[in-house]
Amino acid sequence: MNRKMKKNKIFIYIACSTLLLSTGCKKFLEHQPDDRTELNNPVKVAELLANAYPHGNYIPFAEAMSDNAGDKGTTSKLLPNASPWNYVDQIDATSEDTPPYYWNACYKAIAAANYALETIDKAGNTAEYSASKGEALVARAYAHFMLVTLFAKAYDPATAAYDPGIPYVTLPQKVVEGDYTRGTVASVYDNIEKDLLAGLPLIKDQSYRVPKYHFTTQAAHAFATRFYLFKRAYQKVIDHANDAFPGATIVDNLRQWNTTYNVLGYYELQALYTNSTEPANLLLQESKSNWGSSYASYNYGLSSAVRATVFNPGNNPTGKALAMTTKIFGGTETVYNIPKFREHEVKETISATIGDAYIMVPLFTSEEVLFNRAEANAMLGNNTQAITDLDAYLSKRIVGYSVTADKFTVTKATNFFPNVSASDALVATVINFKRQEYMHEGLRWLDVVRLKIPITHVSANGQSTISLGANDPRRLVQIPQDAIAAGLAANPR
């Protein structure tokens, strides 16, 4: 009996100490296993948002799909950008420069924005977080916009409510695989607009340490011009462009191709083009990509034929060569290139031979704002305003620019683009300049899908051609196979 009581007592002691310990345990076990950071203050939220931008590169596949890429016929071997040039779906999501890699990079950026927004919400949406909230919303809108542009049909008011979009993600995922549907292009556009408009006024440029790598108010307006151009809301394009560059301030923010650039050496131009000190760069982002070291030598790229079509003086409405033409380096077709990208090699050890290659991609430039405003004005029939912008552009592109002789006119446009209205001729002029401007930058593809520009890819020996009609289903990049496996509807093929 005595022993039993004693035993009972002991068990009570154990039970009690266990209880005591278990509360102590909670704290004991709450220790983080390593030096990971916790997302618990405005500074850290802001730092997380540096990752709310896609750090993958769309240029390699977008450029190859567009008519900026010709077959140089250098070799019969498979080359990295052969698949997009031939409109063959790329499925490897682990290699950079592919659509699935870019898809993942966009959603990774969206996740960063969502984790930031969740933290801001939990902290009660206080004022100290408001600039970050603005950045997160706009960045989230941008990543979704790029996804819907590449992986879904271009916005068409008639069909957008039925065209499948891409999943619009607004909450952080906390399980291994979430449950997502594509929605429609219209619903995605609605969400983008909502985020963009909610975020834009909150942005505070002064809150950024390196503003060129974040959505400044200016960059956000630039994004808005692109968005509304796609949405065909032309007045809004003009409004946002004017907000980005009030008055005529845009002229001084264009790349000084016909002056400063014109005297730069190869490496100097390469260094300046994607430098944050260049005022034309409104938003830059680092991106893991082999594009920097390889774009010159890719088999599908700036071939002699493309060079002639795009850059020959006779092939644009001014009749003069733009300044970029003089900076096509390489000497032979196999390596023709304008030095726009400098590879940034990130190494893991002090003397490693190989590292991860990065390039800085200009996501928005002053030129685009100018082009978008010009196009919108032309679409709305404000031809004079459109021409003002085109003149501003040409003043920085024609070497030895003459305000009088080189003044652009509707006639110059209609002469070059006969049989269309004055407005359409101006739009065509904008698109023509844009094609030259964004050689090697992939943005040509955005115009190709938006304006349904037909494309023909002809093999070097001329024996096979691939034609991409206005409504060819291959204009939509295929949804990554892993996303299809997880239940998303594939694009038709």
Partner 1 sequence: MRRVALLLCAIFWAILARADARQANGKPERLDNYLKKIEQAYKVSFVYDAAEINKTMVLDVPTKLTSITESLDQLKQKNISYRLVGNQVILKIVEVPRNNSKKEITIKGTVRDKKDGAILPGVSIREKGTANAVSTNARGEYQITVKDNAVLSFASIGYKTVDISVAGKTLINISLEEDANELKDVNIVSTGYQNLNKKLFTGAATALKGSDVKQDGITDVSRMLEGRVAGVSVQNVSGTFGAAPKIRVRGATSITGENKPLWVVDGVILEDVVNISNEQLSSGDVSTLIGSSVAGINADDIESFNILKDAAATAQYGARAMNGVVVITTKKGRIGKPLISYTGNFSTYLKPTYDSYNIMNSSDQMSVYSELARKGWLNHSDASRAADGGVFTKMYQLINTYDATSGAFGLANTPEARNTFLSRYATANTDWFDVLFKNSLMQEHGISVSSGTDKSQLYISTSYLNDNGWAVGNDVERYTANVNAVFNLSDKLTVNFITTGSIRNQKAPGTLGRVSNPVEGKYSRDFDINPFSYALNTSRTLTAFDQNGNRENFARNFADFNILNELENNSLDLSMLDFKLQGGLNYKITKHLKYDFLASMRYVKSGNEHKVRENSNMANAYRAGYSPDDSYIQDNNRFLFRDPEHPEAQPIVVLPYGGFYNTTDDFLKSYMVRNSLEYDNTFNEKHLVNIYAFQEMRMADRQTRSMIGYGYQYDKGGVPFIDPNIVRQATLSNLSYYSMNHRYDRFAAFMTRAAYSYDGKYSFNATGRYDGSNQLGSSATARWLPTWNISGAWNIDKENFFENSSINKILNRATIRATYGLTASLGSATNSALVLRNASALRPYTNETESVMNIEYIENSDLTWEKQYETNIGVDLGFFKDKLNLTVDLYNRNGFDLISPLRTSGIGGQYLTTANYADMNTKGIEVTISGPIIKTSEWNWRSNFNFGYNKNKVTKLSSPQSIFNLVTADGGPQEGFPYRGLYSVEFTGLNHDTGVPEFINEKGVKSGDVYMQSLDTKYLKYEGPTDPKLTGGFYNTVSYKGFTFSSLFTFSAGNKIRLNPAFSTFYSDLDAMPNEFKDRWTLPGDELKTNIPSIPYLETAADFSGTYPYNTYNYSTVRVADGGFIRLKQLSLSYAIPAKILKSIGANNASISAVANNFWLIYSDKKLKGQDPEFFASGGVALPIPKQYTLSLKVGF
Whether 155 and 230 have beta carbons less than 8 Å apart is answered as yes
* Closest to partner 1 by CB, 210 or 403: 210
**Dihedral sign of CA atoms 295, 297, 298, 300 in order:** positive
CB of 48 to partner 1, least distance (A): 4
| Phi, psi at 468, each rounded to 5° | -115, 100
Provide CB contacts within 8 A for 377, sequence distance 6+: 234, 238, 383, 385, 386, 389
Closest to 144 in 3D by CA, of 173, 175, 167? 167
Closest to 118 in 3D by CA, of 3, 9, 27, 39? 39
CB of 361 to partner 1, least distance (A): 12
Distances in Å between the Cα of 26 and the Cα atoms of 17, 18, 73, 486 are 14, 12, 66, 37
Provide CB contacts within 8 A for 126, sequence distance 6+: none
Residue 1 engages partner 1 in binding (rule: CB under 8 A): no
Of positions 127, 210, 263, 405, contacts partner 1 by CB under 8 A: 210
Distance separating alpha carbons of residues 407 and 343, to the nearest angstrom: 38
Q: Which residue has the tokens 């220790």?
A: 31
CB of 304 to partner 1, least distance (A): 21
Distance separating alpha carbons of residues 359 and 290, to the nearest angstrom: 8
Of positions 23, 206, 332, 351, contacts partner 1 by CB under 8 A: 351
* Closest to partner 1 by CB, 110 or 154: 110
Choices 265-273, 320-328, 419-427, 448-456; region in contact with partner 1 by CB under 8 A: 265-273
Choices 235-243, 347-355, 376-384, 409-417; region in contact with partner 1 by CB under 8 A: 347-355
Q: Which residues, numbered 218-237, are part of the site for partner 1 (CB under 8 A)?
A: none
Q: Which residues, numbered 90-149, are part of the site for partner 1 (CB under 8 A)?
A: 92-95, 100, 103-104, 107-108, 110-112, 114-115
Q: How many CA atoms lie less than 13 Å away from 151 in the CB half-sphere?
A: 35
Q: Which residues, numbered 452-481, are part of the site for partner 1 (CB under 8 A)?
A: 480
Q: Which residues, numbered 59-78, are part of the site for partner 1 (CB under 8 A)?
A: 75, 77-78
Q: Which residues, numbered 144-203, are part of the site for partner 1 (CB under 8 A)?
A: 167, 169, 172-178, 180
Of positions 82, 123, 198, 271, contacts partner 1 by CB under 8 A: 271
Q: Which residues, numbered 11-50, are part of the site for partner 1 (CB under 8 A)?
A: 14, 17-18, 21, 25-26, 28-39, 44, 47-48, 50
* Closest to partner 1 by CB, 74 or 130: 74
* Closest to partner 1 by CB, 25 or 248: 25
Q: Would you list the DSSP string of 319-376?
A: -S--GGGGG-BSSSGGG-B------EEE-SSTT-S--EEEEEEEEEEHHHHHHHHHHH
* Closest to partner 1 by CB, 31 or 493: 31
Residues that bind partner 1 (rule: CB under 8 A) add up to a total of 92
CB of 80 to partner 1, least distance (A): 9
Distance separating alpha carbons of residues 492 and 56, to the nearest angstrom: 25
| Phi, psi at 365, each rounded to 5° | -130, 165
CB of 63 to partner 1, least distance (A): 19
CB of 372 to partner 1, least distance (A): 26
CB of 340 to partner 1, least distance (A): 13
